Amino acid sequence: MLRFLVRRTLGALVILLIVSMVTYALFFAIPADPARLYCGKTCTPENLALIRHDMGFDHAWPVQYWNWLSTIFTGGTFNGVHCGAPCFGYSFDKKELVGGILLDRFPTTLSLTVGSAVVFLIFGIGTGMLAAHKQGKPADKIASGFSLLASSMQIYVAGPLALWALCYSTDLLALPTYVPITEDPLGWAGGLLVPWIVLSLIWTANYTRMTRSSMVEQLSEDYVRTARAKGMSGTSVFMRYAWRGAMGTIVTVFGIDLGVLLGGAIITETTFSLHGLGELAIHSFRDSDLSLLVGVTVVAATLIVFFNIIVDAAYALIDPRIRLA
Amino acid sequence: MTTPTGATTDGDTSRPGSTSDLADNATTDAPADAGFRGLSPGQLMWRRFLRDRTGVVSACVVLFFVAVAILAPLISMLYGKNPETHYGQEDVSLLTDSGLPTGPNGGMSGDFWFGLEPGLGRDVLTLLIYGIRTSLIIAVATSLLTTVIGVALGIAAGYLGGKTDYLIGRVIDVLMSFPSQIFLIATMPVVTGLLVAQDENPPGWLPFVAVTLVLSLLGWMGLARILRGISLSLREREFIEAAKVTGASPMRIIFKEILPNLWTPILVQSTLALPAFVTAEAGLSYLGVGVSEPTPDWGRMIADGANFLRTDVTFLLFPGLAMVVFVLAFNLLGDSVRDAFDPKTGR
């Protein structure tokens, strides 16, 4: 297990290096000059060069990339603000340290993800198992039909519709806002209720479909038939044999989804005007804020890679046939 | 892979014209199988597909959308409107001073069946039917491109193995770790910049090509992984060895021995991928980085509609519903195609 974790962590670091490097290279391939944005209307060539130098844009991108990379470990001072290691740089647009902005935004994305994940896991797996148990019966038909319909919904369709139905036209629920849970737990839940409903609806449908299909697959396996032939009760075959087999797929997909969701759901956060990592990503891109863009991308990629490792480790715990080698 | 049930000794004596009757009346699978004697896998798949009512209905819906997209100029000619004219600005009585349609329900009337777009005052129906074109052209082109890349790299990795496999595997690992939404957004201006010089007037095809390339860049890995796995196991099979022993070149083995065995997963995966590209394309436009004005686009219509939520939901409703119906039909079609090829997976 330890060897596996060490090996995978090293691999993950290499991937993160590549991701951050590609982000840098991409940014410099974009035909725009960030320094010009801060130069203002009375822009002289001398001023421009000075700003470029201040921002560190006067080097070739590999040099800048190297500077960025080494600053993570050594720290640095930007515009008179000290940034201790691990330092992810300074946003010239927001006049703040990137690490601070990221920490500031992350709780929103975290609350959004955790709140809806609890709902869609419970309902999705529950409905999926029910549908697999009652395969072909009306309960299954209703559950499958509903999940098919809901999984064809997109957040950018369901989100505005939910806002219209629940907030604008009826005033049933509050418009989405983020209030830290430490300040006001009720306000926190109330402010995120509409996004949670929309996200849960769509993701519940996906998990229902997935749970049902992997349960149906497991139920047709030979070992399930053998267990039934031995005379085991239907419930214990269903729960202890088929469910355990199906769990591998569900854990894998959930781990991957969690990594992606925590890295910032751009469309969800844009739709509900929530200031999380996803919204930060698109804003930093629009404002040509390189250090912020690289910061968000690296955080998002780290979460994806991290959860991939967790998934593989969890997989080995669930399914003893799999060896971590 | 579906294999033909094979022409057995009495294959020629099967009663003419009775196969489907037999299959419909059959209570067990065995007689139904006997009725399919002597059919090619393709014919078997087609028959299974035709018996799947959901599949046929969703195929009809998909065909309807495709037909509307192709016939869009004809339809708008008969209807007498086009998606470019700003009707609301030509006729001041149609829009209020704040740019909202004067009529109820987003200005729906005998002249403008689905209402008027707030602000510019374009006709929603023609915007919708031309929007299908944008969606379909990009989604189909992306599906084709990702299929070509996925097939080429998947077979290369699986069949050649060794260093090639390792290299392609690592490239897939890295691409899978990219936060895809951020990257789709960040690569759009880069690809656009690569295609056209900055000060040049961008030609009309540019956004189409750019969106297609960007979506393809991060869209081929799933198919490549699946095909790698299958070709890896096919490589060890006897018929490949036999081909090698008889001196067939690697090219011949790949195209004549391996590829024919991969058509099923390729077709199934592409059918399932197409609606995903439709929604991804609309998502990019929704965020304002996809196909730009004046090309009609569903994602941008939805984003515009969301801006007028407080006053009128109609403008969101039409593109939203069209999108859901289209994606639902395509998803159902994909499931049916998969079931028809591989009846074991039954829903």
Domains of chain A (ranges plus CATH)? 103-286 (1.10.3720.10)
Out of B174, B182, B198, closest to residue A281 by CB: B182
Kindly indicate the confidence band of residue A39, based on its pLDDT and cuts at 50, 70 and 90: low
Mean pLDDT of B326-332: 89
- Within 10 Å of residue A226's Cβ, how many Cβ atoms? 12
In angstroms, rounded to a whole number, what is the distance separating the alpha carbons of residues A7 and B314? 55
Out of B287, B327, B331, closest to residue A266 by CB: B287
Kindly indicate the confidence band of residue A24, based on its pLDDT and cuts at 50, 70 and 90: confident
> Do B177 and A304 make contact, defined as CB atoms within 8 angstroms?
yes
At residue A203, does pLDDT exceed 60? yes
Q: Which residues of B touch A (CB under 8 A)?
A: 173-174, 176-183, 185-187, 189-190, 193-194, 198, 275, 279, 282-283, 286-287, 299, 302-303, 305-306, 309-310, 313, 316-317, 320, 323-324, 327-328, 331-332, 345, 347
DSSP codes joined into one string, A168-219: ITT--SPPP----TTT-HHHHHHHHHHHHHHHHHHHHHHHHHHHHHHHHHHH
In angstroms, rounded to a whole number, what is the distance separating the alpha carbons of residues A60 and B337? 51
Give pLDDT, residue B21: 42
Question: What are the tens digits of pLDDT across the range B180-217?
Answer: 888 888 887 777 777 776 666 667 778 888 889 888 98
Out of A19, A27, A293, closest to residue B177 by CB: A19
Kindly indicate the confidence band of residue A181, based on its pLDDT and cuts at 50, 70 and 90: confident
Mean pLDDT of B221-239: 88
B174 neighbourhood in chain A, CB within 8 Å: 15, 18-19
Q: CB of A249 within 8 A of CB of A314?
A: no
With tokens 């996906």, the residue in question is: A206
Kindly indicate the confidence band of residue A83, based on its pLDDT and cuts at 50, 70 and 90: confident
Residue type, B160: L
Give pLDDT, residue B18: 40
In this prediction, the answer to ipTM > 0.90 reads no
Give the rounded percent of residues in chain A with a pLDDT score beyond 70: 91
Residue A307 to residues A114, B169, B171: CA-CA distances in angstroms? 15, 19, 19
Kindly indicate the confidence band of residue B35, based on its pLDDT and cuts at 50, 70 and 90: low
- Within 10 Å of residue A35's Cβ, how many Cβ atoms? 21
**Residue A80 to chain B, least CA–CA distance (Å):** 30
Mean pLDDT of A183-202: 85
On average, the pLDDT of chain A sits at: 82
Mean pLDDT of A50-58: 69
Residue B97 to residues B119, B163, B309: CA-CA distances in angstroms? 9, 67, 18
Kindly indicate the confidence band of residue B27, based on its pLDDT and cuts at 50, 70 and 90: very low
**Residue B197 to chain A, least CA–CA distance (Å):** 9
Residue type, B233: S
Chain B residue with minimal CA distance to A271?
Answer: B306
Residue A216 to residues A133, B269, B346: CA-CA distances in angstroms? 8, 21, 9
Interhelix angle B162-177/A290-318, rounded to 10 degrees, is: 120
Cβ of residue A23 closer than 8 Å to a chain B Cβ: yes
Mean pLDDT of A102-107: 87
A11 neighbourhood in chain B, CB within 8 Å: 173
Give pLDDT, residue A323: 64
DSSP codes joined into one string, A131-175: HHHTTTSHHHHHHHHHHHHHHT--HHHHHHHHIIIIIITT--SPP
- Within 10 Å of residue A32's Cβ, how many Cβ atoms? 13
With tokens 């035709």, the residue in question is: B50
At residue A71, does pLDDT exceed 90? no
Q: CB of A88 within 8 A of CB of A295?
A: yes
Mean pLDDT of B304-313: 80
Give pLDDT, residue B88: 66
pLDDT greater at residue B107 or residue A97: A97
Give pLDDT, residue A2: 81
Backbone angles phi, psi at A77, to 5 degrees: -125, 125
Chain A residue with minimal CA distance to B298?
Answer: A157
H or E, element range at A29: helix A2-29
A15 neighbourhood in chain B, CB within 8 Å: 173-174, 177
Give the rounded percent of residues in chain B with a pLDDT score beyond 90: 9
> Do A156 and B302 make contact, defined as CB atoms within 8 angstroms?
yes
Mean pLDDT of B264-286: 88
pLDDT greater at residue A50 or residue B25: A50
Give pLDDT, residue B3: 39
Chain A residue with minimal CA distance to B199?
Answer: A31
> Do A149 and B279 make contact, defined as CB atoms within 8 angstroms?
no
At residue B24, does pLDDT exceed 70? no
Which of B47, B51, B28 has its CA nearest to residue B36? B47
Which of A203, A243, A234, A188 has its CA nearest to residue A122? A203
Give pLDDT, residue A67: 80
Q: What angle do CA B71, B73, B77 make, to 5 degrees?
A: 115
Mean pLDDT of A122-142: 88
In angstroms, rounded to a whole number, what is the distance separating the alpha carbons of residues B255 and B258? 6
Which of B137, B59, B63, B2 has its CA nearest to residue B335? B59
Question: What are the tens digits of pLDDT across the range B63-97?
Answer: 999 998 888 888 877 777 777 777 666 666 666 66
Kindly indicate the confidence band of residue A87, based on its pLDDT and cuts at 50, 70 and 90: confident
In angstroms, rounded to a whole number, what is the distance separating the alpha carbons of residues A51 and A173? 47
Among the listed ranges A40-44, A187-191, B134-138, which one has the minimum average pLDDT value?
A40-44
Cβ of residue A136 closer than 8 Å to a chain B Cβ: no
> Do B179 and A260 make contact, defined as CB atoms within 8 angstroms?
yes
At residue A42, does pLDDT exceed 70? no
In angstroms, rounded to a whole number, what is the distance separating the alpha carbons of residues A118 and A248? 18
Mean pLDDT of B118-132: 81
A300 neighbourhood in chain B, CB within 8 Å: 179, 182
How many alpha carbons fall within 13 Å on the CB side of residue B309? 23
Q: CB of A195 within 8 A of CB of A268?
A: yes
How many alpha carbons fall within 13 Å on the CB side of residue B251? 0
- Within 10 Å of residue B56's Cβ, how many Cβ atoms? 13
> Do B316 and A160 make contact, defined as CB atoms within 8 angstroms?
yes
With tokens 């960007």, the residue in question is: B214
Mean pLDDT of A272-295: 84
* Structure tokens, A178: 């983020």
A19 neighbourhood in chain B, CB within 8 Å: 174, 177-178
Cβ of residue A278 closer than 8 Å to a chain B Cβ: yes
On average, the pLDDT of chain B sits at: 78
Backbone angles phi, psi at B332, to 5 degrees: -65, -40
Among the listed ranges A157-161, A169-173, A221-225, A279-283, which one has the minimum average pLDDT value?
A169-173
Query: A 160-179 residues with CB below 8 A of B?
Result: 160-161, 163-164, 168-169
At residue B29, does pLDDT exceed 70? no
**Residue B247 to chain A, least CA–CA distance (Å):** 37
> Do A29 and B347 make contact, defined as CB atoms within 8 angstroms?
no
